[in-house]
Amino acid sequence: MGNPRLRSVVLDTTDVPRLAEFYRELLGWSYPPGVDVDELTDWRAIIGPSGERIAFQEVAELPPTTWPTAEVPQQAHLDLQVDGRADLDHNHERALALGAVLRLDRSDDPEEPLRVYADPAGHTFCLFTH
pLDDT, one tens digit per residue, over 19-60 is 999 999 999 999 999 888 888 889 999 999 999 999 999 999
For the ranges 34-43, 64-73, 78-87, 104-113, the lowest mean pLDDT is seen at: 34-43
Segment 72-86 mean pLDDT: 89
Segment 56-84 mean pLDDT: 91
CA-to-CA dists, residue 40 to 8, 13, 47, 95, 110, angstroms: 17, 14, 15, 24, 43
Domain map (residue ranges) of the chain? 9-58, 77-129
Q: Do domains 9-58 and 77-129 have the same CATH topology?
A: no
Q: Which residues of 66-79 are buried (b: 16+ CB within 10 A; e: fewer)?
A: ebeeeeeebeebbe
**Cα 24 to Cα 29: distance, rounded to the nearest angstrom:** 5
Whether 61 contacts 14, CB under 8 Å: yes
**What confidence category does residue 6 fall into, taking pLDDT thresholds of 50, 70 and 90?**
confident
pLDDT, position 112: 87
pLDDT beyond 80 at 3: no
Segment 98-124 mean pLDDT: 94
Question: What does the longest C-alpha to C-alpha distance in the chain come to?
Answer: 47
pTM: 0.85
pLDDT, position 4: 64
**Run of H or E including 43:** strand 43-47
Top CATH class, 77-129 = alpha beta
Average pLDDT over all residues of the chain: 92
Tell me which architecture the domain covering 9-58 has in CATH.
Answer: 2-Layer Sandwich (3.30)
